[in-house]
Amino acid sequence: MNNNVEEVKARLNIVDIVSEYVRLTKAGANWKGLCPFHHEKSPSFMVNEDKQIFHCFGCAKGGDVFTFVQEMESLEFREVLKMLADKAGVQLEQYKSEDTGNKKRILAALELATKFYETQLWKGMGKDKIMQYLHERGLTDKSIQKFRLGYAPNGWDNIIKFLTGRGFTIQEIAQTGLLVEKTADSNQNTANSNKNFYDRFRDRIMFPISDNMGNVIGYSARVAPGGDESQAKYVNTPETVVYHKSKVLYGLNHAKQDIKNKNYVLLVEGNMDVIASSQAGLGNVVAVSGTALTPDQILMLKRYTDNIAMLFDMDSAGQQAAEKSANLCFEKEMNVKVVALSDGKDAADVVQKDPSLLIKSVKESTSAMEYFFKNILGKYDSKSAEGKNNIAKDILEHVAHIENKIEKSSWIKKIAHELDVEENVINSVLKTVESSVVSSVKKQDQAEDQPAAFQKRADVIRDCLLGVIMSDGNIWKETFDKEKESEWVKNDSLISFVLESGPAANFSFDGLMLKIDDERAIEKLRKIYFDTKYRFTAEEITEQSQDDLRKMAGSYKAQYVKELQKERLHSIIREIEKAEQKGDKETLANLMSEFTKLSQETRD
């Protein structure tokens, strides 16, 4: 089979593709420009036409043309492959991926389930009561069709019967999040039986949640009008192989192009708000999906725009959510506005009354900091010492999250002027607020954004070894031939996957990318590959020679095996302590023998 990735690369010039987004100028053997991934005044972004790669010396992002377009467009690898293949005139072949999570079957089941729920809404049990409710909420048939709303009828096994009748196993259906497993009982020996599961969604209005490609990956399900109000108003799909709620924004697949065109995104609270706003003509609208706004979601939005307007419910819970969300956005250097609704609780209510009111409110949105400042000033007496102290603390809780130093300084001046106190006093209060509020947030952020800092030493060495293996097809093949049955290979899923995929990928990194469906795995392996294969200086880009790579492979393998032995020694010590406590002499003797043998090997 031809390697589609290599063929696309051969027909496209990365300079031409990058030039569609970045103004490049020739600089010796390279092209330079202002990095599109971070703010800078002097160009540190470099494109090398000879090696067909890019690298930024400021933020360290780099890769090939696929990496660049993925970052710019916030697309998955498959989407970029199709997009660039169309541009290059390459006919993509059908290929089978090594999809251990059965992702394609799960997506196929979710697509069929969505059609089932749509049919139940338009022609089945929901065509009268549910459709009437949606119309009363102001939704048009066109909007209902666009967002693929549906109805899950009452009953314990509707979706089970429907999907099993179309060839899906109960295990496959369970992986979609559509089912709930009953608690263990006397049926333990019938784990594969339909009787051990029941439908998660019953008598609910279904809002399908899609990924950027439009694939349904989960649902947000609202209790039907007149339904069991003792249950949760909304029930959402749990975390699955395809659905990760912290990385999903409802409506983004419809809104992404409009967000880019308008250069701002409108963030609302609920699914109905998204649909109503879209219906009113605001196509650049998204909502969080069953969670508070997360750093991952903000980074997704930043790929399209740095500007965000927040339209949350006007009740106290909605305003608190707006404040927390704005603080997160400040930390990611987004420009934040707040939309205040004078008529109606939320966007859906306003659109139901008069769509033009929503358009007007969005146009009149104000800077988030100005909005918070005005509200806080209205809560306290700015003439009293106590009032001044409360105003300073409350507004500085927002200022503390602002990363831009100029903007932060400007607000310190404004607060000092408004309260008629010295700036150094405000700065003193700010330091106290920052130490109690921001430090804990940033620690959590660093733990999420920089997992590599907490990698075990063995994992760091393993990544270096993988980078060398993937950088040279001959070394990859040699390692596969000699080591595929080795314990150190079998005991690590990532190394095992890369080596075992070698023959089918023709020992090519680009070929390997076609074998992976997990975007996080693609991103991880790409970083490992490019960080190993290339060395960057201000003047040139160099590659490791095959001899150097072969030496590195031997060295990393030896280090990795030794590190695994050390880990096993620590584990044996813990097991020895347990065996001694239990008085298990036989186990203790075996462990001591293994400990002696491993100790000798690690010294050799």
C-alpha 150/C-alpha 221 separation (Å) is 9
Residue 97 lies in a domain: no
Which regions of 302-427 does DSSP assign to beta strands (E)?
307-311, 335-338, 366-367
Looking at the structure, do residues 571 and 495 belong to the same domain, yes or no? yes
Residue 290 lies in a domain: yes
Looking at the structure, do residues 257 and 173 belong to the same domain, yes or no? no
- Domain-ending residue, one of 308, 330, 363: 363
What mean pLDDT is predicted for residues 388-404? Answer: 90
Q: How much is the pLDDT for 117? A: 97
What percentage of the chain has pLDDT greater than the value 90? Answer: 43
Tokens 């584990």 locate to 571
**pLDDT, greater one: 81 or 41:** 81
What mean pLDDT is predicted for residues 440-467? Answer: 64
Q: How much is the pLDDT for 244? A: 87
- Residues 4, 81 contacting (CB under 8 angstroms): yes
Looking at the structure, do residues 598 and 459 belong to the same domain, yes or no? yes
- Domain-ending residue, one of 31, 55, 88: 88
Q: Confidence class of residue 236 from pLDDT cuts 50, 70 and 90?
A: very high
Q: How much is the pLDDT for 349? A: 85
* Domains of the chain: total: 5
Looking at the structure, do residues 442 and 468 belong to the same domain, yes or no? no
Looking at the structure, do residues 417 and 553 belong to the same domain, yes or no? no
pLDDT at residue 96 above 50? no
Q: What is the DSSP letter of 451?
A: G
- CATH number of the domain enclosing 26: 3.90.580.10
What mean pLDDT is predicted for residues 12-41? Answer: 88
Per-residue model confidence as pLDDT tens digits over 567-598: 888 888 888 888 888 888 888 888 888 788 77
Looking at the structure, do residues 323 and 349 belong to the same domain, yes or no? yes
C-alpha 42/C-alpha 22 separation (Å) is 14
pLDDT at residue 76 above 90? no
152 φ/ψ sector (left φ>0, alpha ψ -120 to 50, else beta) = beta
pLDDT at residue 269 above 80? yes
Helix (H), strand (E) at residue 345: none
Q: Confidence class of residue 341 from pLDDT cuts 50, 70 and 90?
A: confident
Q: State which residues form the domain around 432.
A: 380-450
Looking at the structure, do residues 353 and 261 belong to the same domain, yes or no? yes
Per-residue model confidence as pLDDT tens digits over 534-574: 887 766 778 888 888 999 999 999 899 888 888 888 888 88
- CATH number of the domain enclosing 254: 3.40.1360.10
Residue 368 lies in a domain: no
User: Among 219-233, 294-308, 514-528, 589-603, which stretch is predicted with the lowest mean pLDDT?
Assistant: 589-603
Give the 3-state secondary structure of 317-339: HHHHHHHHHHHHHHHCCCEEEEC
C-alpha 397/C-alpha 369 separation (Å) is 11
One-letter amino acid at 392 equals A
Per-residue model confidence as pLDDT tens digits over 482-524: 998 888 888 888 899 999 999 988 999 988 888 887 777 888 8
Residue 522 lies in a domain: no
Residue 516 lies in a domain: no
pLDDT at residue 44 above 80? yes
- Residues 39, 48 contacting (CB under 8 angstroms): no
Give the tokens for residue 577: 């302590």
